[in-house]
Structure 1
Amino acid sequence: MNFKRTGIGSATKSGLSSGKRTLASHRNSTLVEQEEKRQDLGFGTRINSSYARLINKDGSFNVSRVHASFWHRLNLYHRLITMSWPKFLLLVFAAYMTVNAIFSILYLLAGPEYLKGLPESNTGNRFWGAFFFSAQTLTTVGYGHVSPSGYLTSAIAAFESMIGLLAFALATGLLYGRFSRPIAHVRFSRNAVFGPYLDVNAWMFRIINQRSNQLIDVEVEVSLSQLETKPDGTPFRRYYLLKLERSKVNFFPANWTLVHPITESSPLYGCTPEQLEESDAEFLILLRAVDDTFSQMVHARTSYRADEVLWGRKFRSMVDSKTSGNYSLDMDTFDDTSEVPLNS
């Protein structure tokens, strides 16, 4: 009897435990499904209290890494490929002058008498004579009016020649990489606008290809990032994919105004400028296209914060009416807007 009662009690407890596990499993699966459906662009939901945009106007990400290794932070090749042309040329010139200055000092330390043809008037003339001899050796030009003699000076010259061959091969590769790297020179309007569109209102911005190359199969995605509050009062960042009136075009020869109609299904429905400011809203733009010149995919990114949205405005036409015979666009009017009343 005791054994039977113990068995029944164990079965009852086992059933209760099984039921709890079933409820917990169902709850966990529900949370997993909600998490899988949540929109996330890769920035996560954790946020800082300070004002900071996720994507800068130039398309770079406003994210910094701390305690990373020096070489990972340096990323020399990426920096040399992506830095501006003035900075790149200035860096190459500075490296060229520095290397020649170092080798000219080495020649003088080895003994200026071992450089035949070197001026002997004073130390300054000797330095510049050794400097120009270094430049001729580094570039393998070798005019011949100064030549090394002695084992040590000849060894320094031989080593410099090898450095010159490797350095100029590297510089040539960097120049080719910079010229051959396809870049989408797409210009985004300075501001986005919130204005009337058909019988509703819409959030809009404008883009144009600044170069004469052809971009085809252009596709644009727009996401809204804003702060919301959990039931426990904890703030978190949420992302919405905004549906555009047209998100893809086959050809992109002229300007293109991207339109997100504010319908009842839009997360911007009934929104005010003050609400956008309070929610730290940011519109994240991603553009993809195929560059017909390189036959490669190119990208462009930017963002608009709440204070960069003009309310009750619309973009003015860029068509130059003074030009006849072809479709002409006036680039000076790209950012121009005019005031219009919003639809009620």
Structure 2
Amino acid sequence: MTLRLALAGEPLPLVGRARAYVCGITPYDTTHLGHAATFVWADVAARVLRRIGVEVEMCRNVTDVDDVLDAAAERAGRRFDSFAAVGQFRFDRDMAALGVRPPTHQPRAHNHVDGVVRLASALLERGVAYERDGEILFRAAATGLDVVEVPPDASEVPPSRRAEDPRDPTVWRPATPGEAAWPSPWGEGRPGWHAECAAMALSVLGPAVDLHVGGADLRHPHHTGMAAMAEALTGVRPFARARLHVGTVRVDGAKMAKSAGNLVLVADLLETHPAAAIRLLLLDRPWDRPWDLAPGALDAAAGRLERLFAAAARNAGGVATDAVVAALLDDLDVPAALDIAENEGGEAARTALSVLGLT
């Protein structure tokens, strides 16, 4: 029997290699638990694929050209690039502590601005973009992007005042005074958010990917926008064969975000709890469901971890090991895999702890 991963009920057949694009951080408020959830789940998906012999080529970008990051850098009295570098250092440190393996590629947006310019030029040539006062906008109606059902947790991107249709996302825009800017055929400017990721994904992984990973709030307009731009450029559809949109982490019902003032930082949690317990807190649930960080949840995860280690120490056979792997291949059902591991112990528990990166 061929082993393969299924996500959201759909099998993902792979031959030898999987290309995964993970929407990375904007490095200015790193690393809160909402960030960590996405990257820990991406790491687990890669580990499960490697378990069945699939090589994973993972690209996780860094959005270091961003209006919000620039504003945060200005408040701190720092240049955007040095400010982003410090945030990236903190993020990498937190990921290492949580056992998240480094990606194969980690492109930074400021190194791919020329790619965005080429993307914008090509979209103009294909008639799916237009120019207004130095801004290049992507025609949503021409690509089906305007009919996408907007999920309730979608990220909010205000429409451009130059857009013919408020649903038309920016590919390139003029820079305002004081902003970092780059040359283009339309004047000094900056890339649009979706276009940055499209350019990085196309440059590193080619015209399509097997798995696209990000927080649930990035489904629209970010992932739909970048995919539509890539598909319009290459003609290859779909851009992503499968998607892993990780459920939002909330505090008292509100999405964890700097704007909400409810961030829970990984670095702070690491001062009082084992990294493996934090990782288990993020994983012991369905990957696509939003969830609230409840009081005592981290202590409960630490208790579950202790029971798993105790189970792994038992002298039990490996009969249930296949059941652990089967649960993980069935929509990354970590809770089911952990229940089997805890109940059966021995090799089954050791397999679960290893594949899930908890050892």
Shorter-chain TM-score tier: under 0.3
TM-score by length of 1: 0.21
The structure richer in helix per residue is: 2
The structure whose Rg is larger is 1
